[in-house]
Structure 1
Amino acid sequence: MPLRTSQSSRRRLLGALLGGAALSAPLAALAGFNFFTSEYTASRDELQAQVAKRFPVQQRYAEIFTVSLRDPQLSLDARNNRAAITAVLTIASPLLKPSSVEGLVSVSSALKYDAAARALRLDRPQADRIELQGLSGRDAERLQQIGAVVAQELLRDQPLRTFKPEELTVGRKTYEIGDITVQDDGITVALK
Structure 2
Amino acid sequence: MVMINRRRWLAASAGAALAAALVGCGMMGNDYTFSQSQLQSALERKFPFNKRYMELFDIQLANPQLTLDPSRNRVNVQFDATVNNRLFSGEPMTGRFALDSGLRYDPASRAVVLQDPQVQQFEVRGLPPQLTRQFNALGGILAEQLLQGYPLYTFRPDELRLAGASVEPGTITVLPNGINVKINRP
Q: TM-score range by the shorter chain?
A: 0.7 to 0.9
| Amino acid in structure 1 at the alignment position of 2:129 | G
Q: Whole-Å Cα distance in 2 between the matches of residues 143 and 184 of structure 1?
A: 32
Question: Please, which of 79, 85, 94 is the counterpart of residue 87 of structure 1?
Answer: 79
% same residue: 31
Indicate conservation of the 8 Å contact 2:22/2:28, yes or no.
Answer: no
Matched, 1:62 2:54: yes
Please identify which structure carries the higher helix content: 2
- Specify the alignment match of 1:169 in structure 2: 161
CA-to-partner distance for each residue in 1:88-123, whole Å, 9 max, x for gaps? 111112444743111101111111111232211111
Give 2:65's aligned residue: 73
Aligned to 2:112: 120
5 Å-filtered alignment, 1:128-139, equals 128-139=120-131
User: What TM-score comes out, normalization by structure 1 length?
Assistant: 0.80
Q: Give the Å deviation of 1:169.
A: 2.6
Alignment gaps of 5+ in structure 1: 16-21
What is the CA deviation profile of residues 131-165 of structure 1, one whole-angstrom value per residue up to 9, with x for unaligned ones? 11123522222223223322443322111111123
Task: Give 1:34's aligned residue.
Answer: 28
For 2:176, which of 176, 179, 184 is the aligned residue?
Answer: 184
Aligned length: 179
Alignment of 1:140-155 (within 5 A): 140-155=132-147
Gaps of 5+ in 2: none
Q: Judging changes above 3 Å, is the alpha-carbon distance between structure 1 residues 151 and 99 closer, same or farther for their aligned structure 2 residues? A: farther
Give the 3 Å change call, closer, same or farther, for CA 111–10 of structure 1 in structure 2: farther
Q: Per-residue deviation at 1:73?
A: 0.8
Corresponding residue for 1:13? 12
Mapped contact 1:106–1:130 kept (Cα < 8 A)? yes
